[in-house]
A and B are shown apart, each in its own frame.
Chain A
Amino acid sequence: MNNEQLDTVDYAAGTPDQDQPWAALGLNEQEYQRIRRIVGRRPTEAELAMYSSMWSEHTSYKSSKVHLKQFGQKTTEEMQKHMLVGLGENAGVVDLGDGWAVTFKVESHNSPSYLEPFQGAATGIGGVVRDIISMGARPVAVLDALRVGHEDHEDTARIVKGAVAGVGHYGNILGVPNIAGETDFDPVFQGNPLVNAGAVGVLRHEDLRLAQASGAGNKIVLFGARTGGDGIGGAAMSSASFDDEGATNTPVVQAGDPLQENVIIEATLELFSKSLVEGIQDLGAAGIACATSELAASGDGGMHIELTNVLLRDEGLSAGDILMAESQERMMAVVTPDNTDAFEHIMHNYGVEYSWLGEVNDSGRLTIDWNGERIVDVDPVTVADDSPVYERPYARPASQDALQADTFRGSAAGTNLPSTGDELKAAVVELMSSVNMADRSWISSQTDTSVGGNTRQGAPNDSGVIRVDEETGMGIGLAIDCNSRYVYLDPYQGAQLAVAESYRNVATSGATPLGISDGLNFGSPENPDVMWQFAESTRGIADACQELGIPVTGGNVSLYNQTVDTPIHPTPMIVTLGRYDDVATAVPSWLHPSFNGSALYLLGETFDELDGSQFAHLRGHLGGTPPKVDLAQEARLAGLLANASRTHMLDAAHDLSEGGLAGALADMVLPAGVGVRVNLEYVTERDNIDAFTALFSESQARAIVAVPLSEEVRFRGIAESRGYPALRIGVVDADSESLEVQDLFSASITELREGWASALPQRFGN
């Protein structure tokens, strides 16, 4: 902001021809002209800063809105029955019964994490947790999903080490357990890694609050950390792709202070429990500009702010900087005049700084003064809700046919496939030593999974499980999944597969899926190929959710994830939330020594489906079409698993996804080193496939379960009565200390573990 002449509303009215940096702020000419029309003059610098932040892709969803609408449209009344708050709020709220509710959300923090992985990932956790607390919920778990470049690229260690440590650091100091996550390596994410952070909170129905400023005369207060120059230009930057020289627009890195947020959580929840706030909103992208305009727009429509009241970390910030700064750990609340003393009392108790900024009025205008001079005078609805909406052109890329025609079996990579016992064994060892299948404990051990004392299970299980009600044991299960390679091969089907896998993971652990939240990470919407991927993926998610009968409760869109002209693989991350009557019935996905002797059943059928598989990836191939999706079958499998786990028929259960049967068996065997003996003959005969396909195909709607001998008759009975294909393929043999596939090979746990356990620490450990 120009320090010599404050750009006031009056001054702007008198200087219509002054040049304004709309392009540098990420606006195009039409958008700038539209702003001029709306305000009826040229905008002041502060107004321009507000509009540019609020109309950025990141904040306004201007390219994605038209496609996101179908999530609501395809949600039936039946699907709505558990929803207390739907799409559009900070996060959706789902009823858990007995007066309990849960809210969950996943958010991207991709570009900040590329610039500074530790702070980027840390503030990603911090931001999504503030979304949760602004709904009045106590955060009970966090999760994360990372997509990074090739494991041996020189920049990958910087990203992985930083992001993993950052996720851990912030969540650990908050005291919120990290219970689920996934990490995938692929060169397509080299210059554009994805860091998606999720959080879950629980609340009592009566504590639910929405972010709105109502009631003329009510006071607006900003509390938490002071405002500094953090991330100025951040929202605009998230909506720009990285060019050859790195970041287009390098802002001050936003640094997180989890200690501050830890205190804010307690202070905020006390405000809720004492009903001292009318509305509350966290400050994220576009800082005060976003919070004031959104609060005002969703309330009675008028608000006045004196910006010089904002407590600053750096004196010398301009009014525009203060409006746009993305300093972390700040919250804005609306408080009635008779509650201001009680509010201040709580702030003093927790040692939290606050300042009163202004009040709600019925003017229908958002006015902001700087030293008594008016620098903003706008209709808040035009800032918050009236951003342009684009129907971006999209078209199936011409190259898609060739991509799908290039099947694994038809490629050079698909010849000379392992067939003898020795070759198959070597392939299993190689698969499990690859970074995408290897042990994740180097990552998960950097997070505190125990804190809170309600973690029933965390990594390496298919889903994380948290108890909500200590009295009854009622609780929730969560999983986050997306196979980007599948989505790249077929965005519609691939997105459905992401929903299917996430849903299946929650069901495999014994929960009943209730809803999903999505984190949609794509390239530039101005590229019709990418826009087609986006359109197809959102259609896939909406259709899948409709068929499975679970609503999309909320989500986040991150576009412009590309380096020069190369977009990332389309990555719609899906978080599924499930419910347990009692988390004591949760089923682990690995074999514990106490499960010795249990029978292993393979549920579902195996087809020749290797396109886009981990095995194909290992051979450097990506082409063809992903496994076929059968959502009705997924729902039947989920029903069977829920019934079997609720009635204590299962010791363990693991879904089949990346790496197929081989990957699932090794995942079950390796964590505790408990061996199995299996026979593939029945599978190869029934499904008419060879042993290689049986081991590595990634056919869907499958799971392996470990059934105690005492429960076998009952289990076979329910599988049969539900008409679900179930084959007894082997037994848990703790004493064998090996993964034995009869008549083919026996891999000792020692040789399997070696590459599996060392793949990540060897590359990224200290």
Chain B
Amino acid sequence: MSAPKIGVVMFDAATDAPSVLRAVELAGGTPVKLHPKTTVAPDLADLPLVILPGGFSYGDYLRAGALAATQPIMRVLEDAVKAQELTLIGLGNGFQVLTESGLLPGGFIANDVPVFEHAEVDLVVENNTTAMTAAYDTGEHIRLVHKGAFTQYTATEEELEALEEQGNVVIRATESPAGSVNNIAGISSDDGLVLGLMASPEYAIEAGFGTDHAEGPGQGVDGQGLFVSVVRAAIAAKNGVVSE
């Protein structure tokens, strides 16, 4: 089976994009760079899954993710999701783009301590039936990089209730560095086609360059599972199953 194509949107200053491209490749996928001004729908038969990478799209000016959410490609992706033809995953700043686009509920505000913080976060996978978690076990503890200045997730009570009841809180922090409500780190849309994670799994994919681990500094590679999940989901979609 040839390596499935996975789209990565190259927003200006999406500083994590190069590492996401690399992570997709290491997990066995073929990353395809997508220009944010693209208005021609990508060939979705070949591109069943697109990642919005993290970083500081458009400098995080106005609000984190706000200017990226207005880019032409977002309308194309949104249409494809609505047509059940595409899975869309936002990582870090990409998750902020998804809430700014209204594709996921809730939003992000300044961290509890309102400065940029780079930290490592301990997370628990609560739902392993999604396109970004299938390679993990439910209940599995993973450690990833968490960074940003506006990474505190917030939502209305109704939204929170719905998220929790539907099992749409996919990944939860043991203690959110930003003070996110219910320690929410990753969520899913009801149909599982839109997923967001406030963390940077692309910096925990290679021993020696990863997160802290019992075996030694930088030996943690817990982010690999996310990209393996993504590649599997893309393969499954190619075989006619969009999501599980």
Contacts and interface: CB of A to CB of B under 8 A. Distances in A.
Task: Say whether A associates with B.
Answer: yes
B41 interface: no
Contacts, number: 95
Interface in B8-27: 12-13, 15-16, 18-19, 22
Contacts of A258: 13, 56, 59
Interface in A436-467: 444-457, 467
A603 B206 CA distance: 33
A173 B15 contact: yes
Q: Which of A453, A454, A457, A766 has most chain B Cβ within 10 Å?
A: A453
Contact of B209 (A172, A444, A446, A454): A454
Contacts of A672: 212
A38 interface: no
B119 interface: yes
B116 A450 contact: no
Given A258-B59, A450-B147, A584-B208, A169 B116 contact: yes
Contact of B117 (A259, A446, A592): A446
B72 to A, nearest CB: 13
A594 B215 contact: yes
A457 B218 contact: yes
B217 A259 contact: no
Given A262-B12, A594-B214, A766-B115, A450 B203 contact: yes
A448 B216 contact: no
Contacts of A451: 15-16, 19, 55
Contacts of A506: none
Interface in B117-155: 117-119, 145, 147
Contact of B114 (A173, A450, A592, A766): A766
Interface string B46-81: 000000000110111100000000000000000000
B200 interface: yes
Nearest to A444: B118
A446 B145 contact: no
A766 B118 contact: no
Interface residues of B, number: 35
Nearest to A761: B113
A262 B209 contact: no
B118 A448 contact: yes
A426 to B, nearest CB: 31
A593 interface: yes
A172 B116 contact: yes
Contacts of B222: none
Interface in A594-608: 594
B109 to A, nearest CB: 14
B214 A455 contact: no
A346 interface: no
A598 to B, nearest CB: 12
B202 interface: yes
Given A448-B15, A592-B217, A453 B116 contact: no
B115 A173 contact: no
Contact of B119 (A351, A445, A467): A445
Given A259-B12, A453-B22, A592 B216 contact: yes
Nearest to B215: A594
Given A445-B117, A584-B208, A259 B19 contact: no
A268 to B, nearest CB: 15
A168 interface: yes
Contacts of A583: 208
A173 B13 contact: yes
Given A173-B15, A174-B15, A456-B208, A450 B118 contact: yes
A415 B64 CA distance: 57
Contacts of B61: 259
A447 B15 CA distance: 13
A456 B200 contact: no
A455 B209 contact: yes
A703 to B, nearest CB: 18
Nearest to A583: B208
A263 interface: yes
Nearest to B117: A445
Q: Which of B58, B60, B61, B116 has the most CB of A within 10 A?
A: B116
Contacts of B15: 172-175, 262, 448, 451
Contacts of B18: 175, 452-453
Contacts of B205: 453
B13 A445 contact: no
Residue in A165, A175, A444, A672 whose Cβ sees the most chain B Cβ within 10 Å: A175
Contacts of A257: 59
Contacts of A172: 15, 56, 116
Nearest to B206: A453
Contact of A450 (B117, B145, B215, B216): B145
A765 interface: yes
A730 interface: no
Interface string A261-279: 0110000000000000000
A445 B118 contact: yes
Contacts of B145: 450
Nearest to B16: A451
8 contacts: A258-B59, A262-B12, A262-B13, A262-B59, A445-B119, A450-B145, A451-B15, A592-B217
Given A172-B15, A174-B15, A175-B16, 4 more contacts: A445-B119, A448-B116, A453-B205, A766-B114
6 closest A-B pairs by beta carbon, nearest first, are A175-B15, A259-B59, A453-B19, A450-B203, A173-B56, A262-B13
